[in-house]
Amino acid sequence: MSAKSLILFITLPLYIIDQISKWWIVMNFAPPPSMPAPSNVADLEYHITVIDGFLNIIRVHNTGVAFGMGNGTTWAPFVFLAVPLIALTIITIAWKKKFFIGWTGKAAFALLLAGIFGNLTDRLTQGFALEHLKDESFWTRLMNGYVVDFIDVILPFYGNWPTFNVADSCICVAAVLMVICSWNEEHNKKA
């Protein structure tokens, strides 16, 4: 399968689902009261309990990276605008060097693109949707971009897992597929 086919049939639909779900959250949920996410969902003005004691839909603004690291810091907007661009460059080079082999590698490539583009779009646009920044400069609004996270999972013996979104899920599944792809390649070399 070509890169164009992967992007058309996997990346693009997942990117659209990611963006629609995030904008639905932004349009229908009150902004979160603080950063990072409140430890108790009941503290939020509005949330949906999907499975009591296990799964909630909430609105979280993640200005950091995975698991909210860097949330609220002054350096996070600069770093986390650069990281996706660097990642896109690396995976493009890896694609050209035939790193993504077999169906697992190709699916990982498509999922990585969906996840990176989904979260990058948030960082580039969400700061402009903040009402309290409407009179601020372009640069200020851009630097106040954030990723919309909304899937809140509660795990037994752990508690609240860091809130995530569709793009984050794509990146995590891609990481697992890349491990499988690497294992298969190593296994095939030994055979």
> Which residues are part of the catalytic machinery?
149, 168
Alpha carbon distance 123, 144 (integer Å): 8
Other C-beta atoms closer than 10 Å to the C-beta of 74 total 8
Other C-beta atoms closer than 10 Å to the C-beta of 162 total 18
**Nearby residues of 71 by Cβ (< 8 Å), 6 or more positions away:** 35, 36, 62, 63, 64
Residue type, 31: P
**Chain centroid offset of residue 55 CA:** 18
Contact 11, 114 (CB under 8 A): yes
Q: CA distances (Å), 130 to each of 127, 137, 184, in order? A: 6, 12, 46
Other C-beta atoms closer than 10 Å to the C-beta of 16 total 13
Other C-beta atoms closer than 10 Å to the C-beta of 159 total 9
Nearest alpha-carbon partner for 119 in 177, 168, 59? 168
